[in-house]
Amino acid sequence: MMDSIANLSFSSLLDAFSDPLLLIDNHGIIQQTNRAAENITGYTHNQLQGKSIDQLIPGWYDTIHLYSQRTALKPLGNRSLESSRTKLIKQNKQALLIDIFPKSIEIDHQRFILLTLHATNSQHQAEHNLQESEERLFLAKQAAGLGIFDLDLQQQIIYQDERMRELWGGKASKISPYDAFYAAIHPKDRTSYQIALEKATNPSGDGEFNIDVRVIHSTNGLERWIHSIGKVHFYEGVANRLIGIVQDITQQKLLEKELQSYRAEVESLFKQQVAIQTASAIAHELNQPLTVISAYSELALITLENNPANLDKIKQSLHNCVIQSQRAGDTLRELIASLQKTDAHIERLDLNQVILDALRTVRSDGFSDFQQILQFELNLPAVLANRVQIKKVVVNLLRNAVEAMNSTNVATSEITISVKTMAKEKYALVTIEDKGPGIDPKIRHQIFDPFFTTKPTGIGMGLSISRALIEANGGQLWVDPHTPTGARLNFTLPFAA
C-alpha cells in the first residue's frame, strides 16, 4: 500500500483536489496544474504548462515576487503568502474575478509557489460588476454633460444630481420640491412640458418621457435649452416615479436657429429671383403689343385733331388697338398657363398623415417654438391630391403662424390644427389657427394678392402660391374673418371617389 502511494505522480495528487491549483516556479512559469484549473481557465493541461502566470493573471507575479523577496521566500520552507483578489483572463478572453491563495513550497530543494484559485461568489461578482458599471456611467456622464433626476410623482419631490443642480440653479440640496423645479422652466414651455408628463404618466401609454424645454437658471438668469428623456415606473397601475437624464442642447439649438435663418434667406432670395424672372417675362411679352397700342392711339388722336372727318382712319386705328389688346391678353394667359404647367401626381392621401409630416418638417427647419393641438377626425376618408403640393401649403401656413406669434412675443405659442368632414359636402376641411396678433381687417382682402406682404423681408408670394396650389387640387383656401384672436385659415380638398 505504501509503495503504491509513493509511486503516485505529483500531477495525480494535484488532480485529487477539487480547487483549481497552479504550481509555478520562481520565474512565474506554470509547471503543473490540475483538472479544476483547466476547467476554470478553459485551457488544456499542455496549453497551461510552460505558460507565464502573467498571461492568466496580469501583473500578479511581479507584485507577489517583490513581496516574497522581502518576506516569506527569503528563508526556504513552506509558508502561506498574502492572499489577494484579482482578475483571471480565461482562454476565451473573458475576465473572471477570483481570490488567490498562494503558498510557498520547496520540492527537491527548489522553490515553487502553489496557487489555489477561488472564483468569488455571485455577490462579490455582482458588487464588482456594479462598481465597474457605475464607473462607466460616471465617465459617460462627464463626457456627455448628462444630469440625472428621479421624480417622486406621489410625494412631488425630485432628486437631482450635481449636474442637474448646476443647470437648474437654486439650493445645493439633492432633494427639492417639484414646484421649485417646474418654476425654472420657461413660461412658454410649461404647457408642452406638462402635456409630455401627462402623456408619459398615462397607464395606457408606454411611459416614455421626451421633451425639449428652456430652463432659466434661478441664480444668474441664464437661459438654456435642455433635452430630457426618461421612463415612468408604475405600481399597480399608478405612475410612481419618473427616472431620466437631461442634457444641455443650447449650442445645438443656436446652430439650428442659424441654419433656419440661412434657409429663410436662401428661400427668400430664390422667391425674389422667381418673381423678378416672372415679372421680366410678363413685361417682355406685353411690351410689344403695348407699344403698338400706344402708336395706334397716338395716330387716332392726331387724325381727330387734323382731320376729324376721316372716320375710317380713326376706326382702323381703334380696331388695331383692340386687336393688340386682345393679343396682349392672350399672351399673358399663355404665359401664366406655361408657368403653372406641372406633372403633379394626383393620388389618394391620408390627410392626417400629410399634416403630421408637415409638422415634422416645420420643426426640423427650426420653427419649433410652439405647442401643437391636433384635432383629427378618426377614420377620415382619403382625399385626392398631390402630396408634395399639399404638404407645401401646410408648411407655409404653419411657418406664417409661428412667425406671427414670435413677432408679438405671445404668452402661449399655440397652434390648433383640426381636420374634419364638411357637412353635406364631399370635402375635407382643414383649419389652422394660431394665437398671434391676427390679421388687420383693413388688409384682409389683400393677403392672397401676389407681392402683398407685411413682413420686412417677405415678397408676398406664400399665400398667393398656397391658394393657387389648393385650387389646382380642387379645393379652396380662405381666411376666417370672424376670429376674435389670432388668425384662422381654412382649406378644403375633395375626397377620393
CATH number of 347-494: 3.30.565.10
The answer to whether residue 128 scores a pLDDT higher than 70 is: no
Whole-number Å distance between alpha carbons of 93 and 164: 39
Q: Which of 280, 278, 275, 277 is nearest to 458 (CA)?
A: 275
Domain residue spans of the chain: 2-125, 145-248, 253-340, 347-494
Q: What percent of the chain has pLDDT over 90?
A: 21
57-74 pLDDT, tens digit per residue, is: 888 777 665 555 554 444
**Strands 30-33 and 21-25: what pairing?**
antiparallel
Q: How confident is the model at residue 5 (pLDDT cuts 50, 70, 90)?
A: very low
Q: Which of 422, 442, 443 is nearest to 431 (CA)?
A: 422
Share the mean pLDDT of the chain.
80
> Are 50 and 30 contacting, i.e. CB atoms less than 8 angstroms apart?
yes
> Are 235 and 202 contacting, i.e. CB atoms less than 8 angstroms apart?
no
Instruction: Classify domain 145-248 at the CATH topology level.
Output: Beta-Lactamase (3.30.450)
Burial of 69 (0-12, 13-18, 19+ CB in 10 A): exposed
The answer to whether residue 410 scores a pLDDT higher than 90 is: no
> Are 444 and 454 contacting, i.e. CB atoms less than 8 angstroms apart?
no
247-282 pLDDT, tens digit per residue, is: 999 988 888 778 777 776 776 676 666 667 667 766
Helix axes 462-472, 387-408, angle to 10 degrees: 150
> Are 89 and 58 contacting, i.e. CB atoms less than 8 angstroms apart?
yes
Helix axes 250-306, 311-340, angle to 10 degrees: 160
Domains 2-125 and 347-494 share a fold: no
Among 86-95, 268-277, 357-366, the range with the most confident prediction by mean pLDDT is 86-95
Summarize the confidence of residues 184-213 as an average pLDDT: 88
The answer to whether residue 1 scores a pLDDT higher than 70 is: no
Q: What does the block give as the cell for 117?
A: 484559485
In this structure, is the dihedral angle defined by the CA atoms of residues 292, 296, 301 and 303, taken in order, positive or negative? positive
Whole-number Å distance between alpha carbons of 184 and 220: 12
CATH class of residue range 2-125: alpha beta
Whole-number Å distance between alpha carbons of 194 and 209: 11
> Are 113 and 81 contacting, i.e. CB atoms less than 8 angstroms apart?
yes
> In sequence order, which residues have a C-beta less than 8 Å from that of residue 318 and are 6 or more positions away?
296, 300
Whole-number Å distance between alpha carbons of 453 and 284: 25
The answer to whether residue 7 scores a pLDDT higher than 70 is: no
DSSP state letters, 73-120: TSS-S-EE---EEEEEE-TTS-EEEEEEEEEEEEETTEEEEEEEEEEP
Q: What percent of the chain has pLDDT over 70?
A: 79
283-293 pLDDT, tens digit per residue, is: 766 677 777 77
The model carries a pTM of: 0.48
